[in-house]
C-alpha cells in the first residue's frame, strides 16, 4: 500500500510544469483570497490545503461546495481564486457553482485526475493529479489519489511560501500558540522578573543581608549593585559554596568580596530563546537583565523559561 502511494507522489514530479507555474502566478497575483473546495474525501484534503496555505502566508479558507450552493457562495468574490478538488472532475456539487463563480470573475484552478473532465476544461489552470491505481485492493477507496492531491496542494503552498519570501518569523506569527511561536516571539522582557521580585543588594551589604535577600526572592542568587545602581556583580549559590570552602566563616565578610564580578547579562529586548542558549553555553542557571548603561531591570532563571514554555 505505501509503495503504491509513494509511486503516486513520485509520478507528480514531472507534471510540475508550466501549468503548475501558472497556478502559482495566478495565486500570487490574486488580490483577494484563495478559496479551496471539494466534497467527500477531496473535501478533507481541500481543508488541509487551505489550512497549510493560510499558515504559510497565503490567505485561504475552505468552502463546502454543497453549502456554497445554498448561500455560502457569497463568500467568494471576483478577486478571489478558487482551487477546486475532484478526482473525477465531475462532482455535481462543484459543477453547480462553477458557472456562478466564473460569471463573478473569480479565477479557477482545478486539481483532478482527468484532464478531459468538465471541471478541468472549465478551469483557468488544471493540475493533473491522476494516479495509476488506488492503494485500496478493490481499487475503489480514495487512497493514492487523495495522497497525490494533498502532496500537490502542499507543493503549491510551499512554492507560494518561497515566492513570497515567507520567513521563519512570519511562520511564528501565524502560530503564536505553538512551540515555534513561543520560541520566536517571546522576549526576555515577557518572562523576566521585575521590580521587587528581583533580588538585589548594594555593594556595601554584608554576607547576612545578601543571604536574606536570596532567601526572600528564591532565585538562588542576588545581584550586587554599585552606588549608581549598575550591576557590579552577582552572588549565587555556587559562590556561597566556593566561599565556604575558601574562607570558612563568611558571616563578617562583605558581599563585594565574595561575589562574581562582571557577570553574564542580557538585554530585555532579546529573544527568550537566546537567553536559553546563553545560559546553556555558559552553564549558568540565572541571568541578570540590564540596560545599555548596565542598570538592573530584571532577572530570570531556567524555571521562568520552563514556565513560559520557551524550553
Is the residue at 86 inside a domain?
A: yes
Indicate whether 27 and 137 sit together in one domain. Answer: yes
CA–CA dist 148, 299 (Å, integer): 51
pLDDT at 181 over 70: no
- Average pLDDT, integer, range 255-264: 92
Indicate whether 153 and 10 sit together in one domain. Answer: yes
- Average pLDDT, integer, range 169-180: 59
Residue 72: predicted pLDDT: 83
Radius of gyration of the chain (CA): 30
Q: How high does pLDDT run on average in the chain?
A: 90
pLDDT at 175 over 70: no
- Average pLDDT, integer, range 5-29: 94
- Which domain CATH number covers 249? 3.10.580.10
Is the residue at 52 inside a domain?
A: yes
**Which of 69-83, 179-193, 288-302 is most confident?**
288-302
Indicate whether 153 and 212 sit together in one domain. Answer: no
pLDDT at 261 over 80: yes
Residue 308: predicted pLDDT: 75
pLDDT at 239 over 80: yes
Residue 187: predicted pLDDT: 87
Residue 309: predicted pLDDT: 76
Is the residue at 175 inside a domain?
A: no
Indicate whether 246 and 287 sit together in one domain. Answer: yes
Is the residue at 288 inside a domain?
A: yes
Question: Which of the pair, 126 or 277, is modelled with greater confidence?
Answer: 126
Indicate whether 161 and 193 sit together in one domain. Answer: no
Residue 247: predicted pLDDT: 79
Per-residue DSSP letters for 167-216?
A: -HHHHHHH-TTSHHHHHHH-BHHHH-B-GGGS-EEETT-BHHHHHHHHHH
Indicate whether 156 and 13 sit together in one domain. Answer: yes
The boundaries of the domain holding residue 253 are: 188-307
DSSP for residue 69: T
Domain count, the chain: 2
Q: Which of these, 210, 208, 243, 245, lies nearest to 224 by C-alpha position?
A: 210
- Which domain CATH number covers 81? 3.40.50.10490
pLDDT at 43 over 70: yes
pLDDT at 177 over 80: no
pLDDT at 183 over 80: no
**Which of 35-39, 173-177, 303-307 is most confident?**
35-39
Is the residue at 171 inside a domain?
A: no
Contact 89, 118 (CB under 8 A): yes
Residue 68: predicted pLDDT: 86
CA–CA dist 251, 84 (Å, integer): 78
Indicate whether 6 and 145 sit together in one domain. Answer: yes
pLDDT tens digits along 1-12: 799 999 999 999
pLDDT tens digits along 198-212: 999 999 999 999 999
Q: 136, 166, 196 — which closes off a domain?
A: 166
Is the residue at 172 inside a domain?
A: no
pLDDT at 170 over 80: no
Indicate whether 192 and 100 sit together in one domain. Answer: no
CA–CA dist 12, 264 (Å, integer): 53
pLDDT at 176 over 60: no
Is the residue at 260 inside a domain?
A: yes
pTM: 0.65
- Average pLDDT, integer, range 92-114: 94
Is the residue at 20 inside a domain?
A: yes
Indicate whether 29 and 61 sit together in one domain. Answer: yes
Contact 6, 131 (CB under 8 A): no
pLDDT tens digits along 262-274: 999 999 999 888 8
Amino acid at each position: 500500500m505505501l509503495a503504491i502511494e509513494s509511486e503516486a507522489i513520485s509520478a507528480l514530479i514531472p507534471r510540475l510544469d508550466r501549468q503548475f507555474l501558472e497556478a502559482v502566478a495566478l495565486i500570487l497575483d490574486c488580490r483577494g483570497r484563495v478559496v479551496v473546495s471539494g466534497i467527500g474525501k477531496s473535501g478533507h484534503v481541500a481543508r488541509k490545503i487551505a489550512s497549510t496555505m493560510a499558515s504559510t502566508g497565503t490567505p485561504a479558507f475552505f468552502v463546502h461546495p454543497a453549502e456554497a450552493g445554498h448561500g455560502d457562495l457569497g463568500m467568494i468574490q471576483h478577486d478571489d481564486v478558487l482551487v477546486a478538488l475532484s478526482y473525477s472532475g465531475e462532482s455535481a456539487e462543484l459543477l453547480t457553482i462553477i458557472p456562478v463563480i466564473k460569471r463573478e470573475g473569480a479565477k479557477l484552478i482545478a486539481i483532478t485526475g482527468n484532464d478531459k473532465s468538465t471541471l478541468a476544461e472549465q478551469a483557468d489552470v488544471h493540475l493533473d493529479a491522476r494516479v495509476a491505481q488506488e492503494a485500496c485492493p478493490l481499487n475503489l477507496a480514495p487512497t493514492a489519489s487523495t495522497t497525490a492531491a494533498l502532496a500537490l496542494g502542499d507543493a503549491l503552498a510551499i512554492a507560494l511560501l518561497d515566492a513570497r519570501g515567507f520567513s521563519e518569523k512570519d511562520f511564528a506569527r501565524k502560530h503564536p500558540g505553538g512551540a515555534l511561536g513561543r520560541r520566536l516571539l517571546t522576549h526576555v522582557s515577557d518572562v523576566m522578573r521585575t521590580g521587587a521580585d528581583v533580588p538585589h543588594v548594594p555593594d556595601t551589604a554584608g554576607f547576612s543581608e545578601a543571604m536574606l535577600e536570596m532567601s526572600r526572592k528564591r532565585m538562588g542568587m542576588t545581584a550586587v549593585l554599585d552606588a549608581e545602581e549598575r550591576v557590579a556583580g552577582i552572588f549565587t549559590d555556587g559562590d556561597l559554596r566556593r566561599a565556604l570552602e575558601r574562607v570558612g566563616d563568611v558571616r563578617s565578610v562583605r558581599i563585594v568580596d565574595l561575589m562574581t564580578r562582571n557577570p553574564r547579562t542580557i538585554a530585555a529586548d532579546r529573544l527568550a530563546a537566546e537567553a536559553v542558549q546563553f545560559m546553556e553555553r555558559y552553564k549558568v542557571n540565572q541571568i541578570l537583565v540590564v540596560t545599555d548603561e548596565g542598570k538592573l531591570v530584571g532577572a530570570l532563571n531556567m524555571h521562568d523559561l520552563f514556565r513560559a514554555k520557551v524550553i
